[in-house]
């Protein structure tokens, strides 16, 4: 009963919440990695940050797809 009532608002909230989470997940590790690498003059931290960022994006996408109710498609 609660699922049917909340379905429309869930569709409206899915895209902005996903984009906000996506930009947060993408930009924060890149900024942290860039800051550390500029401070230590080591570019390996950017590569490590991008690898971790890629893993977080993959896991986050899988979780988001599993948690999203796709019955409206």
Q: Tens of pLDDT along 23-48? A: 666 677 777 767 776 777 666 766 77
Distance CA 64, CA 25 (A): 13
Kindly state the DSSP code that residue 43 receives in the 8-state scheme. T
The arithmetic mean of pLDDT across residues 62-72, rounded, is 66
Return the domain boundaries, the chain: 18-68
The separation between the first and the last C-alpha atoms of the chain, rounded to the nearest angstrom, is 20
The first and second tokens of residue 23, run together, are: 């930009």
* Cβ 27 vs Cβ 10: under 8 Å: no
Instruction: Output the pTM of the full model.
Output: 0.37
Average pLDDT, the chain: 66
Distance CA 67, CA 23 (A): 19
């Amino acid at each position: 009963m609660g699922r049917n009532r909340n379905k429309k608002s869930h569709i409206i909230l899915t895209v902005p919440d996903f984009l906000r989470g996506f930009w947060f997940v993408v930009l924060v590790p890149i900024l942290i990695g860039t800051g550390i690498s500029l401070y230590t003059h080591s570019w390996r931290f950017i590569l490590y940050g991008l690898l971790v960022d890629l893993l977080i994006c993959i896991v986050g996408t899988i979780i988001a797809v599993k948690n999203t109710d796709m019955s409206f498609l």
